[in-house]
């Protein structure tokens, strides 16, 4: 049976943060569904590892640190015309409020909010986002729906992403560019194991989820692909929560 409304055949998709975690899984899964994938990330070796896993051909690898304005501008100039964007690059930093410094807040917002926003506006100015097309932001349940001690700035950055997504969805609707967001819960990626939490704390957090586990990166990737595909053709300004039931409790 060949019918597949989630097919990405003929589409060129940009995936940021593709060197690991959700970004890596999204790039690989998009390639399996027929997309020509453009991957970008800071770490050239890890990005090359992802590139080696992509199925099919017509893929492009571009090393860039989206937290640096010069890299962002260079990336915009080098990118081809796109049918979809998955803004996945992001960082997590746990900082209690009493220890907050402006440079920490700036860095979190530079990567989590300003980078995807400025990348989008740069591509729009250069008319590199086709009509129709789809833009997907990775937000989080942390900020828009939940908050935990030490995560105030991260939560604020993800809440800002939500506001930008909603605004863009209205502004770009006339151009037939859809804009949506995926809000993951805890996901088994290197980013959580490189955090300040112990293995015991991570296991305790997983036990709080009704499904008693974290998501796999592929499970988040499949939600992103829904928005990138024509299956979501009448969906814009939406926030898809993929959190194993955590926010139901």
State residue 48 phi and psi, 5-degree precision: -65, -35
How confident is the model at residue 181, as a pLDDT?
98
As to burial, measured by CB atoms within 10 angstroms (0-12 exposed, 13-18 middle, 19+ buried), residue 34 is middle
> Alpha-carbon distance 110 to 157, whole Å?
9
- Give pTM, 2 decimals: 0.96
What local confidence, expressed as pLDDT, does residue 191 receive? 72
pLDDT recorded at residue 196: 62
Model pLDDT, residue 2: 84
pLDDT at 44: 97
Task: Decide: residue 3, CB within 10 A, 0-12 exposed, 13-18 middle, 19+ buried.
Answer: exposed
Q: What pLDDT score was predicted for residue 198?
A: 77
The whole-angstrom separation of Cα 247 and Cα 249 is: 5
Tens-place pLDDT, residues 78-134 = 999 999 999 999 999 889 999 999 999 999 999 999 999 999 999 999 999 999 999
The ranges of the chain with pLDDT < 70 are: 1, 194-197
């Amino acid at each position: 049976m060949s019918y597949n409304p989630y097919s990405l055949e003929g589409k060129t998709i940009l995936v940021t943060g593709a060197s690991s975690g959700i970004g890596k899984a999204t790039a690989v899964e998009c390639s399996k569904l027929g997309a020509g994938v453009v991957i970008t990330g800071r770490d050239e070796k890890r990005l090359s590892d992802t590139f080696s896993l992509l199925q099919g051909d017509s893929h492009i690898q571009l090393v860039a640190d989206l937290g640096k304005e010069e890299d962002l501008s260079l990336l915009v100039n080098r990118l081809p015309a796109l049918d979809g964007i998955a803004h996945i690059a992001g960082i997590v930093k746990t900082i209690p409020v009493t220890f907050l410094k402006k440079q920490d807040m700036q860095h979190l917002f530079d990567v989590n909010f300003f980078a995807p926003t400025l990348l989008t506006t740069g591509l729009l100015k250069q008319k590199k986002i086709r009509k129709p097309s789809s833009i997907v932001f990775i937000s989080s349940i942390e900020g828009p729906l939940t908050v935990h001690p030490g995560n105030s700035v991260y939560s604020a950055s993800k809440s800002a992403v939500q506001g930008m997504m909603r605004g863009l969805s209205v502004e770009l609707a006339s151009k037939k560019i859809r804009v949506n967001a995926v809000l993951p819960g805890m996901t088994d990626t290197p980013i959580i194991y490189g955090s300040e939490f112990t293995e015991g704390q991570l296991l305790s957090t997983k036990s709080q989820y009704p499904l008693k586990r974290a998501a796999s990166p592929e499970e988040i990737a499949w939600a992103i692909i829904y928005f990138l595909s024509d299956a979501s053709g009448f969906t814009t300004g939406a926030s898809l929560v993929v959190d194993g039931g955590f926010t139901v409790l």
